[in-house]
Amino acid sequence: MASAFEGPDGPFVYARYGNPTVRALENAVADLEGGAGALAVGSGMGAITSTLWALLRPGDHVVAQNCLYGGTQGVLGDLRERWGVDVTPVAAGDPEQVRAAIRPNTRVLFLETIVNPTGEVVDLPRLAAMAREAGVTTVVDNTFATPLLCRPIEHGADVVVHSATKYLGGHSDVIGGLMVFADAATRLAVQERTAEFGAVLDPFAAWLIVRGLQTLGVRVPRQCASAQVLAERLAGHSAVAAVHYPGLPDHPGHGDARRLLSGGFGGVLSFELAGGLRAGRAFVGAVRLASLAPSLGDVKTLVMHPASTSHRQLSAERLAQAGIAEGLIRVSVGIEDVEDLWADIEQALKAAERHH
């Protein structure tokens, strides 16, 4: 027992400091991401807050991509208001904007590999190199890409975070988060904080995520292939005004996505119905194979209409500012037969056209 209390990676003595099932998950995800080590926590948000709180102190500065996951934006707002950490949002598609935003007190650059719902992909190697030169730690949320499409540490990232609730778990039956570190020292520093916060992962949840990892290499390529087919067909449909998917050649991030991602462009796409709000409601009410549900990365196809659900409190004007069209539909493509999925989408598009 004395040796167990010696250090965080000694024998297991108490589950908040470490557990063998959780450690098995951490080792597996560290391997997948090519990192020196990983830490699992209770959710993706737990991974994001643990990382930021461990790296930052009052007076520090963060440069953040301007269209991050809503929960991440909430944490960054909190850091600014409550903890005296200044945050500069940047259009990370423009590396010069990122360079201009970095100050002497900048500690963290926060990016996502594939941004929701626009499908933006940035020039990660260039941005990470720029950050490293300035002594800034690059943190990348790799939830949408998974380590199958992109291993950000190989492109210069220092910390990778995941919502394991999505693709790593893969079945919408577990909540969890992972942090993967390029160097062991950062892992140790963050581990001290996670033991304090107590936001650790339950061992059974870890077991479920390890179960999910066993099929990651089968699920993700199929989801990407189906998303590509659906995106191409949607782009040619009369009820659809625009499709946002980095696998389409006319997507603004297509060039960066081709360089950064391998094996596919992700399993999530979004499209705008020409019929706006009413058409959006009609579409999600009409799907039969797909489920109307939040979250993503499930083996089942999930659809969302942000303007009538997650973003319903915003006025038409604020929606437009947030880049969310009233007829925007997000699809997280599952592993069903792609022709079955297209048949379902096609009949729901007909219902949407009737409400135009």
Ligand X SMILES: *Cc1c(COP(=O)(O)O)cnc(C)c1O
Q: Kindly state whether residue 166 participates in binding ligand X, applying the rule CB under 6 A.
A: yes
Instruction: Examine the residue annotation and report whether 16 is marked as an active-site residue of this protein.
Output: yes
Instruction: Examine the residue annotation and report whether 69 is marked as an active-site residue of this protein.
Output: yes
For 30-82, give the DSSP string: HHHHT-SEEEEESSHHHHHHHHHHHH--TT-EEEEETT--HHHHHHHHHHHHH
CA atoms within 13 A on the CB side of 98: 26
Using the rule CB under 6 A, which residue among 21, 43, 106, 226 binds ligand X?
43
The interface region with ligand X, picked from 162-170, 241-249, 250-258, 332-340 by CB under 6 A, is 162-170
Q: Which is nearer to ligand X, 144 or 245 (CB)?
A: 144
Q: Helix or strand or coil: residue 227?
A: helix
Among 77, 51, 29, smallest CA distance to 197 is for 51
- What x-and-dash track marks residues 231-270 binding ligand X by CB under 6 A? ----------------------------------------
Using the rule CB under 6 A, which residue among 33, 141, 256, 344 binds ligand X?
141
Among 76, 67, 52, 44, smallest CA distance to 297 is for 44
Using the rule CB under 6 A, which residue among 53, 69, 110, 167 binds ligand X?
69
Please count the residues of this chain forming the interface with ligand X, following the rule CB under 6 A.
14
Among 174, 179, 176, 210, smallest CA distance to 193 is for 179
Using the rule CB under 6 A, which residue among 34, 71, 89, 252 binds ligand X?
71
Return the ∠ at Cα 179 (arms to 178 and 183), rounded to 5°: 150
We find the least distance from the C-beta atom of residue 297 to ligand X, in angstroms, to be 8
Q: Which is nearer to ligand X, 170 or 276 (CB)?
A: 170
Instruction: Examine the residue annotation and report whether 166 is marked as an active-site residue of this protein.
Output: yes
Which 77-106 residues touch ligand X, going by CB under 6 A? none
Q: Which helix (H) or strand (E) element contains residue 336? A: none
We find the least distance from the C-beta atom of residue 295 to ligand X, in angstroms, to be 7
Q: Cβ–Cβ contacts within 10 Å for residue 166, how many?
A: 23
The interface region with ligand X, picked from 39-47, 125-133, 212-220, 315-323 by CB under 6 A, is 39-47
Amino acid code (one letter) for 57: R
The interface region with ligand X, picked from 158-166, 207-215, 236-244, 322-330 by CB under 6 A, is 158-166
User: Between the CA of residue 158 and those of 17, 132, 273, what are the distances in Å?
Assistant: 23, 9, 39
Q: Which is nearer to ligand X, 177 or 267 (CB)?
A: 177
For 289-326, give the DSSP string: SSEE-S----SS-EEE-GGGTTTTTS-HHHHHHTT--T
We find the least distance from the C-beta atom of residue 185 to ligand X, in angstroms, to be 25
Using the rule CB under 6 A, which residue among 45, 90, 127, 239 binds ligand X?
45
Residues 6+ apart with CB under 8 A from 147: 29, 32, 33, 34
Using the rule CB under 6 A, which residue among 175, 231, 273, 302 binds ligand X?
175
Q: Kindly state whether residue 143 participates in binding ligand X, applying the rule CB under 6 A.
A: yes
* Catalytic pick among 107, 151, 166, 330: 166
Give residue number: closest CB to ligand X. 44
Q: Which helix (H) or strand (E) element contains residue 2? A: helix 2-6
We find the least distance from the C-beta atom of residue 140 to ligand X, in angstroms, to be 10
Return the ∠ at Cα 267 (arms to 261 and 268), rounded to 5°: 105
Q: Helix or strand or coil: residue 189?
A: helix
Q: Which is nearer to ligand X, 33 or 141 (CB)?
A: 141
Q: Kindly state whether residue 163 participates in binding ligand X, applying the rule CB under 6 A.
A: yes
Label the pairing between strands 61-65 and 106-112.
parallel
Q: Kindly state whether residue 177 participates in binding ligand X, applying the rule CB under 6 A.
A: yes
The interface region with ligand X, picked from 159-167, 241-249, 303-311, 348-356 by CB under 6 A, is 159-167
Q: Which helix (H) or strand (E) element contains residue 274? A: none
Instruction: Examine the residue annotation and report whether 17 is marked as an active-site residue of this protein.
Output: no
Task: Enumerate binding residues for ligand X (CB under 6 A).
Answer: 43-45, 69, 71, 112, 141, 143-144, 163, 165-166, 175, 177
* Active site positions, annotated: 16, 69, 141, 166
